[in-house]
Structure 1
Amino acid sequence: MKNSIIAFVTLFLLVACNKNESKTNLHITGNIKGLKEGTLYIQRYADSSLVAIDSIKIDGNSAFESNIDLKSPEMLYLYLDRGVTNSLDNNIMFFAEPGTINIETNLDSFISSAKITGSKNQELYEEYKKINSRFSDENLTLIEQKFKAVKSNNAKAIDSINALQDNNIKRKYLYATNFAVNNKDHEVSPYIALAEIYDINIKYLDTIQKSMTPKVANSLYGKKLTKYVDAIKETEAK
């Protein structure tokens, strides 16, 4: 009888452990070459600030892993504690989704050398950023030209550059809108709408919101976009 009770308790504990393990649906692996000792944090935005959801001690082995319970695909951050302020300069953004995601980088160029695999949303976001960077580069060039025009008091050149800057912004926003609509079946779509073009004309946000598939509409960012669009419409109706 005693052995039966022990066996039952053991079985119960195994079942309970399996249930707990099933709660984590995101497995993060990675390696930071050159990192001998330190602490890594997996963070997410909550109430307008970064909050740690897991910590990883590095002691001699630069490889790391983490298991997260992810309710919905979302942008997370891999923060390296260098003993300075918690700034985005020490954070690698990665679009997390259920499954296994791998992050490879090195200590000297923590952000720029990061290679992230295992997430379709991350892949799409990197594709978006690659094109979007062209608009940013063009704007920097125009800013430099405008500075020279202002310095030489060339009013005609200033007006021309202002027109080019306005056109560049329109192209940037139109690209973001088209990218979001074309990828309506991925959570990166509402994320881009909220993070990149939140101040665009409501009709474009409304188009993105209505284009989302049911799965995306029910995601973290899908719900936020719907709430945001509804709030703007309500304000404009007053």
Structure 2
Amino acid sequence: MHKILFAALSLTVLLSCSEKKNEGNLEITGNIKGFKKGKLYIQKIEDTTLVALDTIVLNGTSTFESHLNIDSPEMLYLFVDRGVSNSIDNNLLFFAEPGKINIDTDVDYFFANAKITGSKNQELYEEYKKIISKFNDQQLELIQEEILGQKGAKKYSAEENKKKQEALLKKRYLYAANYALTNANKEIAPYIALTDIYDMQIKFLDTIHKSMTPEVAKSKYGKKFSDYLKKRKASEEQ
């Protein structure tokens, strides 16, 4: 009798674990080298506030696993709780999408050394960030030149520096718009439009909007972009 009860309990536990593993449409696995004790949080932005979707407690292992359900691809955050540490390198932004995503990094360079696989939108986002970072570097150089010029550096022209900054900004905006347009079949397109070029001329945003596939248009960022564009058109028509 005891053997029968034990077998039944074991089967119940196994089924329970199996069901838990199958929950949701997004499986996130990963390894944070050097971080074996502490908490991880999977978060998302909800109405401008970070909300925890899952809390993972690590105790003796650096690997982790999380099962979530998301309606469509969206940006999530992996936050590592270092306890008393004041490090600002705690939050890792990644473009999640239904399926399996793996995140490998280390505790010392949590953000810089992160390798994220399994998401096409993440792939595109990383490619986009590489080019944008080059624009940012050029912008910083021009700002530094401006500061030195104001301190009396020779061969400095405020007018010329301003022209260069405006040209660079225009180039950056056009690159972002073209990247979104080229990838209008992915959720990265409305995301870029909403976060990086929301104040661009409507004609450019409208072109991106019309180029989105039906699936992308129905996604979280697709709907937000549609709503934003509608409101902005109405505002500018007044």
Whether 2:139 is the aligned partner of 1:139: answer yes
Contact 2:183 2:189 (8 Å CA) reproduced:
yes
| Mean CA deviation greater in 81-90 or 159-168 | 81-90
Secondary structure of residue in 1 paired with 2:116: strand
Q: Name 2:127's counterpart in structure 1.
A: 127
Please report how far the alpha carbon of residue 108 of structure 1 lies from its aligned counterpart in structure 2 after TM superposition.
Answer: 0.4
Q: Name 2:4's counterpart in structure 1.
A: none
Q: Name 1:208's counterpart in structure 2.
A: 208
For residues 118-153 of structure 1, what are the alpha-carbon distances to aligned partners after superposition, in whole Å with 9 as ceiling and x for unaligned?
000000000000111110000000001111111117
Contact 2:21 2:67 (8 Å CA) reproduced:
no
CA distance in 1, matches of 2:91, 2:113: 12
Secondary structure of residue in 2 paired with 1:111: coil
Superposed counterparts of 1:106-121, under 5 Å: 106-121=106-121
Please report how far the alpha carbon of residue 210 of structure 1 lies from its aligned counterpart in structure 2 after TM superposition.
Answer: 1.0
Runs of 4+ aligned residues of structure 1 deviating over 6 Å after TM superposition are 85-88, 153-156
Q: Name 1:150's counterpart in structure 2.
A: 150
Q: Name 1:176's counterpart in structure 2.
A: 176
Question: AA paired with 2:189?
Answer: S
* Number of residue pairs matched by the alignment: 226
CA distance in 2, matches of 1:230, 1:86: 42
Contact 2:24 2:67 (8 Å CA) reproduced:
yes
Please report how far the alpha carbon of residue 88 of structure 1 lies from its aligned counterpart in structure 2 after TM superposition.
Answer: 6.7
Question: AA paired with 1:199?
Answer: D
Secondary structure of residue in 2 paired with 1:193: helix
CA distance in 2, matches of 1:79, 1:197: 27
Secondary structure of residue in 2 paired with 1:64: strand
Secondary structure of residue in 2 paired with 1:171: helix
Q: Name 1:47's counterpart in structure 2.
A: 47
Question: AA paired with 1:105?
Answer: T
Please report how far the alpha carbon of residue 154 of structure 1 lies from its aligned counterpart in structure 2 after TM superposition.
Answer: 7.0
For residues 182-232 of structure 1, what are the alpha-carbon distances to aligned partners after superposition, in whole Å with 9 as ceiling and x for unaligned?
000000010011111111112211111111000000000000000000000
**Root mean square deviation of aligned Cα:** 2.4
Q: Name 2:220's counterpart in structure 1.
A: 220
User: Against the structure 1 CA distance between its residues 35 and 176, is the aligned structure 2 distance closer, same or farther, given a 3 Å change threshold?
Assistant: same
Contact 2:23 2:67 (8 Å CA) reproduced:
no
Please report how far the alpha carbon of residue 23 of structure 1 lies from its aligned counterpart in structure 2 after TM superposition.
Answer: 4.9
Secondary structure of residue in 2 paired with 1:126: helix
Q: Name 1:58's counterpart in structure 2.
A: 58
Question: AA paired with 2:179?
Answer: F
Q: Name 2:8's counterpart in structure 1.
A: none
Please report how far the alpha carbon of residue 87 of structure 1 lies from its aligned counterpart in structure 2 after TM superposition.
Answer: 9.0
Q: Name 2:28's counterpart in structure 1.
A: 28
CA distance in 2, matches of 1:188, 1:207: 15
Gaps of 5+ in 2: 1-10
Q: Percent identity?
A: 53
User: Against the structure 1 CA distance between its residues 35 and 153, is the aligned structure 2 distance closer, same or farther, given a 3 Å change threshold?
Assistant: closer
Secondary structure of residue in 2 paired with 1:83: coil
CA distance in 1, matches of 2:33, 2:172: 36
Secondary structure of residue in 1 paired with 2:27: strand
Q: Name 1:196's counterpart in structure 2.
A: 196
Q: Name 1:99's counterpart in structure 2.
A: 99
Please report how far the alpha carbon of residue 89 of structure 1 lies from its aligned counterpart in structure 2 after TM superposition.
Answer: 3.5
Secondary structure of residue in 2 paired with 1:227: helix
| Mean CA deviation greater in 126-135 or 199-208 | 199-208
